[in-house]
Structure 1
Amino acid sequence: DDEMKQEKLAVDKELIRLFYANRGYPDARVLSAVAEYDATKNAYFVSFTISEGERYTFGEIGIETSIAGLDVEALRSSIRTYQGNVYKYRDLQRSVEDLAYRATGQGFAFADVRPRLDRDVVNKVFNITYLVDEGARIYVERIDIVGNTKTRDFVIRRELGFAEGDPFNRSMVTRGKSAIEGLGFFSSVGVSTRQGSSSDKVVLNIAVVEKSTGDYGFTGGYSTADGILAEISLTETNFLGRGQYLKLAIGATPNGQTYDFSFTEPRFMGLKVSAGVDVYRRFSGETLTNFFGYESTGGQLRFGVPITDQVSVDLLAGVETKTFADAYTYDHDNDPNTPEIPHPTAAGDSVVITNGQTLNKVFVGYNLTYNTVDSPSLPTSGLIATLNQQFVGWDHSFVRTEAKARYFVPLMEDSGIVASVRGQVGVINDLSGAGVHPSETYFKGPRLVRGFQSMGMGPKAANGESLGSLMFAGISAEIEFPIPVLPESYGLRGAVWGDVGYLSSASAAAAPTTSGDTQQVRSSVGASLIWNSPFGPLRGDFAHVLQQDTADSTQVFQFTISTLL
């Protein structure tokens, strides 16, 4: 009807205004909007007349305060409006919210932040001064929550960061709303306020609309690294309405099966610490490039601790037992008519993996993460870096250390073109002196240098079986861009890239290396098609290998799940 049509047009007008305001045009406005109905196509065609105005950038940026004791210098890192950058309304709003939040963190709960904008019409810049002053002393009298038929009240309340009786601060309310939305339990979250029993009290109203958080079904896919993948799973991200995560899954690939159970309590003992347990049983068969088949059973306990908004650490402890199904021998004389012999260690002793042999391990470790990336699915700026270590004992003793990082930066303002540089390194240090078992070493391929098959690079035995390496290192550069002829709604983007990687020698516990020069640097260049699908970002990589060893196995096209690291 006409009323609904006008409401939709009003929403579209506001979206257009914000679109321009976030691209340097603060004075942009819609002069007119005309909707015409085409009966032959049963569709409305809308014409907008727009006045853009002049394009502005940010000028000088400052902070002024009347609050005694407030550390202004500590607030400056919260400012997102950088001198010389194109004017963006969202950067202005986020700066206000973050400044108020940081001031609250210094103990000034009633801090109020207002931006003062001084327009320079000659140079087309906005000079901004953020005024941080003491706001009205208003307290939260009550928090009313409606619409949560399944989710318990406490799951929502704990995301707010404040409770009844605490000072009322709009930046805290905004952050609390974002945190509730981030749970993923609700299709919409509405927050409003009304005056309480007196002028210095407010009642906070939170209205949520719940959505399904359980997933029962069958999923399948294909990766050139792993082949056909299939999984039957039961997943619940809001178990019993308590915000807990539960997953039961059975998976299969051409060379194995997996059985997994996972449970996570996001607020262990009411603290901002997550606690979880994972239990698994896996079967892996021998492949053309993997010399052993095995079955393993294990589990781990994990604790996640947020240190700051950008830094978190996960603590891990677990146990695993692995039983091998195949003898591990090698062709010592390259003669198929003579029997293979057990592989020797560096000390010359025979260490034989026979049918039914079992290796046990216990481990403790940590994973430290720093993340300022603006979007997990379509990042345009920021840095994500991880450092993890695992200390392993029992039948074998070694330390595994890995570090990865990737930095994103937009190349041109609002072009959608994003450049990124990624680095990764891993090393295993043997503590026993007998060598690290080959099944615990690094088998690398397209995850290090695209264009190589899974386990297609690195040291190999005489029969071509991959032996694994004790160290890897790699660096990649990529430019991702929108595809001009396709609408953005398709979720398709292109990329060009280059990879360089290195793998070290095999473990002393492996068979002698006869091929796969460990001093040879591998490199490749290529182009990719990336799809931000409903199942997550997927990508197809077309690669041209520049440097390789004669024993390496290459692959021109690879299809994988796209990840940040």
Structure 2
Amino acid sequence: MTQRAAQGRTARARSGARLLATAVFLGAATASQPFLQPAHAQVYSFSNVTIEGNERVDAATILNYAGIRRGQELSAGALNDAYQRILNSNLFETVELLPQGSTLVIRVREYPIVNVISIEGNKRLKDEKLAELIKSQPRRVYSPAQAEADAAAMAEAYRVGGRLAATVTPKIIRRSENRVDLVFEITEGRVVENERISFVGNKAFSDRRLRQVLATKQAGLLRTLIQRDTFVAERLELDRKMLTDFYQSRGFIDFQVVDASAELSRERDATFVTFTVREGLSYKIGKVTTVSEVEGLDTAEFEAVQRIRTGQTYSPLLIDNNITRMETLALKKGLNFIRVEPRITRDNRNQAVDIEFAVVRGQRIFVERIDIEGNTTTLDQVVRRQFRTSEGDPFNPREIRQAAERIRALGFFSDAQVNADQGSAPDQVVVNVDVEEQPTGSLNFGVSYSVANGTGFNIGFSESNFLGRGQRLSLSISTASSNQNSSFSFTEPAFLGRDMRFSIGAFYRTSESDFSVYDTRNIGFNTGIGFAVGEQSTLDLRIGASEDKLYNYTGDSPIIIAEEAEGARRTAFVGYTYEFDNRITGLNPKGGVLLRFGQDFAGLGGDNSYIKTTALALAETKVLNEEVTLRAIVEGGAITSLGGNVTRVTDRFFGNGKVRGFEPNGYGPRDLGAANQDALGGNMFAVARFEADFPLGLPEEYGISGGAFFDVGSVWSLDNTAGFGGAEVDDGFNPRATVGLSLFWTTPIGPLRFNFTRALVKEDYDKEQTFDLTVQTRF
């Protein structure tokens, strides 16, 4: 490369010398005018123009750029202008204008042709990725400006990846026949990591809690192994917004990010990011009133749909949600152009905010059209259905903002901007949607480990925007030492053009568990629809069929022997699940509630006839300045046989993982008379789990936190209790209780969880598991 670099520098030196010579000649000609002809400026007139050195560009084109006609009188300044026009055409490496009596000689040297383009010195970014950024092309005229732009684009790619010290230098190697090789020499430098993220001015929340809010992350303990938390300057603006949203949702209405800055270390391989904030005070909701400025409108109806009360923590989202409810009510009543304005009065003494919702008549403005740009893959209809407004409808700015949030929430676009511009008339607006596509598919390879199932491997493919239609497709195959699972699912989120979800799926599972003395095989499919029944609740309806087989039983329990003798049993069912979840969309930023209730009715065909019911309730909240998360989960299920049928082991509940501290199939009804004391499962189970997650006081970059839990529950009830030797199996409600501690460790290979458990209440025949380790990672 030293010889190539020398040749490139020599070429540039020669070119610079020619340009300097021409400039000196023209400058001297101009400067000498007062001395040679003190009364008149020197003028030139050429009866002949000769062009030399051109090979690909014809003479007429050069004369056209020069703008010189034969016999035309030219001053030295006009001759210099002609020189600049030819040079600025970017067709020539050097240009000389040489007056020789009545003849003007225009001597040019054309830019060479690019022979090949090569990239050297890159390791972190592959040639293929960098080649996509290069606009210069082989067999095209070499342009220094374009080469510099290409180098800047590649340097930007490295900067986004955290390598701020990376440099890209374009160089040329001269070849015969006026050709050059274009070489981009890259010095990648080291990744610039976020060595430390700190805050100044925060009192209500610790640095640790605020770092969890940011998109920018701090480098971890094992950062040198796999993953690095790199510095991206553009991310700071997003961090400012996320911090503002975090504080305002907790009542800090005066919160400000005064400054967000990053300083490079002396070695330029690390950054120290500092956010200076001004918190202010947290405010509660004070008095809430509703007034109407629209004649004949009853405010009582609008008050009835409000979900806001005195004493709640103030949040902009809380206000917006209530305004949306009231404006939706107005639309249902056929009242167009009705707007609800929140009028806020601060009571600083009581740290409260009084809110008056004013129902007013807005401007009569209509949506002329909705224009969508930038969606190269996603179909227009996928974006349009995020709007509750169509062309010709009254314009509602709040609905447009909510549609923008729904578009961003799709996850299909790296950026989505929605703006309303003036239309063809004063009462018309055009809604412009400008999006930037991003990859929506993934191919995952993974490894998992647990004490129960051993080491497992999995491969999965998922596409959340299949064929640009917003459909979700996923395939997965996983295998462990004791089981194998394969599944397929497809979801259409807008079935029949409505806000309704259609899904279809299939599965195939086999198990050869070390914790039982039989093998199972399950195969089936299901399909259904789901739709919203409230702001935070959904209802899913489904229908499906399955076949379950129990085989290779090596024990002597008469209950399981009888069930194996039945062979494969087929089940056809219909079912539903209702779910209420406000953990994400709810108004409490510190926690939320999840409620789920479902039933399956088997007996439409096949061999089984039963009703299976499951229910779950979860509540969680953050305490102690949101450093500690408290969680309570209550879960239960029951299967009721119909038509004289009895359940079998493949249908019943085992409660695996429900009460920690027991092996799989480690508690519940058991045939103690059989040689293997086989676990039989139960027709019912109930569990209550109470958990706390908390920091351990270690440096955050270690990625280590702790937890504690208390579990209590049981599995009970059988249709057939005649065990080995005629002895009756105890299938009564025998509660178990365990306590334990957890250690969570976020590592480059995946999240590790260590559970240390002790049983407080158990049966003599239960099989305990005092330690459990799980790890799962994807590549």
Q: TM-score, normalised by structure 2?
A: 0.62
Are 1:411 and 2:638 counterparts?
no
Are 1:326 and 2:539 counterparts?
no
1:208 is matched by which residue type in structure 2?
V
Mapped contact 2:536–2:585 kept (Cα < 8 A): no
Equivalent of 2:489 in 253, 262, 280: 262
How large is the RMSD of aligned CA atoms in angstroms?
3.6
Q: 418-427 vs 502-511, which deviates more?
A: 502-511
**Matches of 1:523 and 1:127 in 2, distance apart?**
48
**Matches of 1:240 and 1:106 in 2, distance apart?**
39
Mapped contact 1:493–1:531 kept (Cα < 8 A): yes
Q: Which residue of 2 aligns with 1:316?
A: 542
**1:366-381, aligned counterparts within 5 Å?**
366-374=576-584, 380-381=590-591
1:63 is matched by which residue type in structure 2?
T
Q: Which residue of 2 aligns with 1:459?
A: 669
Q: Which residue of 2 aligns with 1:339?
A: none
Query: When you count helix as a share of all residues, which structure comes out higher?
Result: 2
1:20 CA displacement:
4.8
1:542 is matched by which residue type in structure 2?
F
Q: Which residue of 1 aligns with 2:169?
A: none
1:427 is matched by which residue type in structure 2?
A
Mapped contact 1:266–1:273 kept (Cα < 8 A): yes
**Matches of 1:152 and 1:158 in 2, distance apart?**
11
Task: Structure 1: give runs of 5+ residues left out of the alignment.
Answer: 332-341, 345-349
Q: Which residue of 1 aligns with 2:26?
A: none
Q: Which residue of 2 aligns with 1:477?
A: 690
**Matches of 1:505 and 1:51 in 2, distance apart?**
60
**Matches of 2:715 and 2:257 in 1, distance apart?**
59
**Matches of 1:20 and 1:352 in 2, distance apart?**
59
Q: Which residue of 2 aligns with 1:335?
A: none
1:252 CA displacement:
1.0
Higher relative contact order (CA 8 A, sep 6+): 1
Change (3 A) 1:259 1:74: same
**Matches of 1:362 and 1:140 in 2, distance apart?**
49
**Matches of 2:409 and 2:333 in 1, distance apart?**
25
Mapped contact 2:446–2:458 kept (Cα < 8 A): yes
1:194 CA displacement:
0.6
Change (3 A) 1:36 1:224: closer
Equivalent of 1:289 in 498, 502, 515: 515
Are 1:203 and 2:433 counterparts?
no
Mapped contact 1:436–1:509 kept (Cα < 8 A): no
Change (3 A) 1:221 1:320: same
Are 1:550 and 2:760 counterparts?
no
Change (3 A) 1:308 1:87: closer
Partner SS for 1:173: helix
Partner SS for 2:383: helix
Are 1:159 and 2:386 counterparts?
yes
1:402 CA displacement:
0.9
**1:343-382, aligned counterparts within 5 Å?**
343=559, 351=562, 353-354=564-565, 357-374=567-584, 380-382=590-592
Mapped contact 1:438–1:507 kept (Cα < 8 A): no
Q: Deviations over 1:357-381 (max 9, x none)?
A: 22111111111111122279x9842
Q: 414-423 vs 490-499, which deviates more?
A: 490-499
Partner SS for 2:386: helix
Change (3 A) 1:78 1:459: same
**Matches of 1:426 and 1:188 in 2, distance apart?**
44
Change (3 A) 1:400 1:325: same
**Matches of 2:458 and 2:481 in 1, distance apart?**
13
Change (3 A) 1:12 1:476: closer
Change (3 A) 1:508 1:16: closer
**Matches of 2:381 and 2:451 in 1, distance apart?**
45
Change (3 A) 1:515 1:390: same
Task: Structure 2: give runs of 5+ residues left out of the alignment.
Answer: 1-155, 157-231
1:467 CA displacement:
0.6
Q: Which residue of 2 aligns with 1:422?
A: 633
**Matches of 1:157 and 1:352 in 2, distance apart?**
54
Partner SS for 2:660: coil
Q: Which residue of 2 aligns with 1:244?
A: 471
**Matches of 1:213 and 1:143 in 2, distance apart?**
24
**Matches of 2:372 and 2:747 in 1, distance apart?**
34
Query: When you count strand as a share of all residues, which structure comes out higher?
Result: 1
Q: 267-276 vs 526-535, which deviates more?
A: 526-535
Q: Which residue of 2 aligns with 1:110?
A: 337
2:549 is matched by which residue type in structure 1?
T
**Matches of 1:108 and 1:397 in 2, distance apart?**
52
Q: Which residue of 2 aligns with 1:272?
A: 499
Change (3 A) 1:542 1:160: farther
1:322 is matched by which residue type in structure 2?
D
Q: Which residue of 1 aligns with 2:709?
A: 497
Q: Which residue of 1 aligns with 2:741?
A: 527
1:384 is matched by which residue type in structure 2?
L
1:174 CA displacement:
2.3
Partner SS for 1:439: coil
User: What is the aligned-residue identity percentage?
Assistant: 32
Equivalent of 2:366 in 139, 155, 168: 139
**Matches of 2:415 and 2:617 in 1, distance apart?**
34
